[in-house]
Each structure stands twice: as C-alpha cells, then as structure tokens.
Homo-oligomer: A and B are copies of this chain.
C-alpha cells in the first residue's frame, strides 16, 4: 500500500519547514515593526462569502462541499472576505485606522503550475479606515521593508504602481462606456502577458474601440506623470487629483527611503473589479516570474460585505513565487540551526546523571539532547555532530568536559558549576 500527497500540495519535511517558518517569521516581524497587528479567520467559511467580491464563478475555483446540516462551505482562497466580515462585525469598537496583517493558509481548486499551488501561504497587509495616500505608502513601504529584510535590493525587485481611476478615465476617453468597463479593465490587465496582436483582439472583444488602442497603449506606457497627463489630453479635475495622489505617494516613498524600489507603471490594472485607487504589483526586476505581491486601494470593500463606506488599502504576497525568487537570487538563508549541546555519557553507566543534566538544561531554555541508544563515546560524538550540536557535554563520574564541536577545544568543569550556568561555558 503506497500513499501519496495530493497534487499541488506540499509535504514540509524539516528543511522545507524551516524555510516556511523563516518566511512566516520575517513577514510577522516586519508587520509588527510597521505597526500592524495579526488576525486570522477560519479556513472554512460559508461559500456565499466568497461570491460577494469575486462573483459566482469563484465557486468553480474553490474546494467546496455541503456539510451535514446542508450548508455550503468552502475552504478560503483568500483572506480579504474574512477580513471584511470580521471588521464589519466590530466596526464600532475598532479604533481607526485599523492596521491588520495575517499569514493565512489558502486553498484553490486549480491545476497546479509553477509558482501557483492548490495550497499555499500568503502574507496580507491591510489598513482600513484611512482615505489618505499615506496609508497606501505605508502598505508599499511594508512590502519593500520585507523584501529588503530578505536580502532583495532594488536591483532584484520592483514595485510597479498604477492607478485604477486613471485607467478608467483613459478607457472612458477611449469610448468605453461604464457597462463594458469591467471587461475592458480585465483586457488591459492581461496586456503585459500577451502579444500585441493577441491584446488587440482581446481588447476589441472586450468593447474597446480598435481606433483608440494606440492612445490607450500610450497612456499605459507613459514614463512619468506629465506624460500621463498629456496622454489623457490634459486631465480633468478628478484625474488631476488622482495624478496628485501618485505624486504624493512617490514623494512619501522617497522620504521613507524606498523610492528606488518603486516605478510608475500604468500597465498595472489588477484583475479584480473591486479596486478603487492606487494599485501595484511587485515583480522580479527581470520580469521572468509571476507577481510576487499585488494590492491597492479598495474603498468599497466593507460596504460590499454589508458594512459602512470606509477607506481601505492593502496587499497580498504569496509564498510560492517569493520562494522561487529568493532561490534564484541566492537569498535563501542558512537554516541549519542545531542543538545547543549534546550530553554524552562518558563512562557508559551514568544514564541517571545524563537525564538529570538534560532535564535541567532544557528546563533552563538550552536546546539539549542525548543518545537514547546507549552507545560508546565515539558514536555519541558522531550523533552530536550529525545533530549539529554546538557543544558536546561529556559527563564522567569525576566531572565534565565541555567540547566546542566547531573548534575541538575542550574545557573541564565540575558538573554542578556547569549546570548552575551552562551558557557561561557555551558561548
């Protein structure tokens, strides 16, 4: 009988688990120092919750089922609907802005591809209750703070920043009316992923007049804000305000010391309908991989889920693409941490003393182990090395030897003295 893991899921053997923990701990550390607090919801939610934001077709991309009470449940494919549900339930008790993060385990009933799995982890950062561009800047800074903490420089990654309202304005100018807006946005979102011909075909099918495509591409390809204004044929008051927001945003990010990671790029549209302001995606600088992270402002979120009209902005960063990128850039950390010490029975008949020492060391916070196999000193030392122990503590009836396994240096200490303060002998 042979059992296998389900396709698109991962077995986290200790090496791989150490990497997963490194990502989670770095995400958590960076979130906290940026003033966010952690939340999580259940993996299982009522299926309805997920169609609010993403439409009924989302059901086909979910693992869902009916429970014994006849209720349709689903495994969450994202945390944002849960965030909206939870914030709405406490909206009057929560001081604003609400700065929350989470590290949810998520599920998608898709065919797995490179960087896209059926079970994965995602870092989510959200600020709710602020209309200020400062909140968008905070989120983008936090994403960059994490990437830099992981060793990725502005040579490695780039945050491409666009604007949903400006893109909508450009589409209106191009003659797209509001009823076709959602499909037109979806077509623009796909432009960077397809050939110019394929894009043209897709765009026309989505209701964008063929004769306005050049103008739209000029808008999307604008290299700076004055080129954006020009491509809109001068900006009306609303567009001017959106352009001013992008200008403020870039200034804030410069002030915070991360301007070099950021680039204006109106080709960034984001697939989902619900974005309402600045949008962005993080890519490897070479552009070989899927987006590492993506987000933006979605001021209608809480209202969509039955709550008040409140400003909201945030992003998600998945573990799968990030891991590929870190590996490609040689930035996976050395995670081979081992034991502080391995306690060795030097005389072969001191099990009681070994157990006493191990018990006291562990209770005092020292990572200690011993050989349950009852073997000779040489073999015990070998096990100590295999376990990556920093020190071997060799017990004998008349005292102990503390051996530094990296240098081979050994010091003799009376056992009682050692156990009083073991860290003094293991530096």
Contact = CB atoms under 8 A, between A and B. Distances in A.
Interface in A38-86: 38-46, 48-49, 52, 63-65, 67-68, 71, 73, 75, 81-82, 85-86
B255 A42 contact: no
B255 A85 contact: no
A109 interface: yes
Nearest to A18: B38
A67 B362 contact: no
Contact of A5 (B6, B41, B75): B41
Interface in A81-101: 81-82, 85-86, 88-90, 95, 97, 99-100
A44 B367 contact: no
Given A3-B49, A12-B39, A38-B17, A362 B33 contact: yes
Contacts of A21: 38
Interface stretch (A172-180, A351-359, A407-415): A351-359
Nearest to A28: B21
Contacts of A52: 1, 3
Contact of A368 (B35, B38, B95, B366): B35
A44 B6 contact: yes
Interface residues of A, number: 94
Interface of A: 1-6, 9-14, 17-18, 20-21, 32-35, 37-46, 48-49, 52, 63-65, 67-68, 71, 73, 75, 81-82, 85-86, 88-90, 95, 97, 99-100, 105, 107, 109, 118-119, 130, 132, 134-135, 137-138, 141, 145, 148, 252, 255-258, 305-306, 339-340, 351-352, 355-356, 358-360, 362-363, 365-369, 372-374, 386-387
Copies of this protein, total: 2
A297 B365 CA distance: 27
A1 B46 contact: no
Given A37-B14, A372-B134, A256 B355 contact: yes
A386 B96 CA distance: 11
A42 B365 CA distance: 31
B368 A33 contact: yes
A366 B99 CA distance: 17
A67 B52 CA distance: 23
